[in-house]
């Protein structure tokens, strides 16, 4: 207690040494401190996604299409690689048979799901309102040899998802931000207990974050390595 009080007292004292420093010295100290704050020694760097090493020719084909899309700018508002990997890991870990994605774009995140679904034997239903992007996604799924495990549904997902049936193992919401709450309301009842609801760019959807964190039936963590992913478990 004494130690704390003494420190507070020194900082507030009018004759504390820092007040006698010349402006140039203060600037030098602040500059040094900010350089030190920016420095991260070995072991403190944020972890980057490790390269995905294919286990089969089929995986290699999917990964090469992902790589080509990223390098050629063939993506549109797609998840970063770190989040793509997270989608794959979560989906495979949940042994998902049924995955629903809102916001296909050109199929980049869809292909990460397919890496998992090859192993689980599951299926992806992905919803896209833009015809050209939906066509490009279909083409990318064909190139990657996964077209049989994906259905691209064109149209406004707010209406189209009414056709979905339970049980869904994994939902991924990555479309119109103002629609996240509506997607949650409509899809959560279809997710099986123990299933996952994932939502991208969570920094942009505070109302969604409030809804998933205030619900006793749900448990949510935030994975912020990429674009910000809320990972919500529907409790059993």
Ligand X SMILES: C[S@@+](CC[C@H](N)C(=O)[O-])C[C@H]1O[C@@H](n2cnc3c(N)ncnc32)[C@H](O)[C@@H]1O
Which residues would be at the binding site for ligand X (CB under 6 A)?
Answer: 75-79, 103, 105, 108-109, 127-130, 133, 156-158, 174-176, 179
Nearer to ligand X, 38 or 206 (CB): 206
Q: How far is the CB of 104 from ligand X (least distance, A)?
A: 6
Distance in angstroms (rounded) separating the CA atoms of residues 26 and 203: 36
Nearer to ligand X, 203 or 217 (CB): 203
Q: How far is the CB of 225 from ligand X (least distance, A)?
A: 15
Distances 87 to 124, 147, 173, 211 between C-alpha atoms, Å:
12, 19, 12, 22
Nearer to ligand X, 132 or 217 (CB): 132
Q: How far is the CB of 140 from ligand X (least distance, A)?
A: 10
- Cβ atoms of 129 and 103 within 8 Å: the answer is no
Question: What DSSP line would sit under 169-205, residue for residue?
Answer: EEEEE-S-GGGHHHHHHHHGGGEEEEEEEEEE-GGG-
Q: How far is the CB of 166 from ligand X (least distance, A)?
A: 21
Distances 13 to 6, 16, 24 between C-alpha atoms, Å:
10, 5, 22
CA angle 180, 170, 134 (to 5 degrees): 65
Nearer to ligand X, 75 or 98 (CB): 75
Specify the 3-state DSSP secondary structure of 229: strand
Q: Compute and round to an integer the Cα radius of gyration of the chain.
A: 24
Nearer to ligand X, 101 or 194 (CB): 101
Q: How far is the CB of 95 from ligand X (least distance, A)?
A: 22
């Amino acid at each position: 207690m004494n130690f704390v009080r003494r420190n507070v007292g020194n900082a507030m004292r009018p004759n504390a040494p820092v007040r006698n420093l010349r402006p140039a010295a203060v600037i030098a100290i602040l500059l040094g401190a900010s350089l030190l704050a920016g420095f991260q020694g070995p072991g403190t760097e944020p972890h980057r996604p490790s390269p995905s090493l294919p286990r089969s020719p089929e995986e290699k084909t999917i990964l090469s299409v992902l790589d080509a899309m990223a390098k050629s700018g063939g993506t549109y508002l797609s998840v970063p690689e770190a989040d793509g990997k997270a989608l794959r890991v979560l989906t495979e870990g949940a042994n998902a048979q049924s995955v629903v994605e809102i916001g296909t774009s050109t199929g980049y995140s869809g292909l990460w799901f397919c890496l998992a679904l090859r192993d689980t034997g599951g299926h992806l239903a992905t919803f896209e309102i833009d015809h050209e992007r939906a066509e490009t996604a279909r083409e990318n799924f064909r190139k990657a040899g996964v077209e049989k495990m994906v259905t691209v549904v064109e149209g406004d997902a707010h209406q189209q998802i009414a056709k979905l049936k339970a049980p869904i193992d994994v939902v991924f919401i990555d479309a119109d931000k103002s629609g996240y709450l509506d997607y949650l309301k409509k899809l959560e009842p279809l997710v099986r207990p123990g299933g996952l609801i994932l939502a991208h760019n969570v920094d942009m959807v505070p109302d969604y974050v409030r809804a998933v964190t205030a619900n006793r039936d749900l448990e949510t963590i935030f994975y912020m390595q990429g674009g910000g992913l809320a990972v919500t478990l529907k409790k059993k």
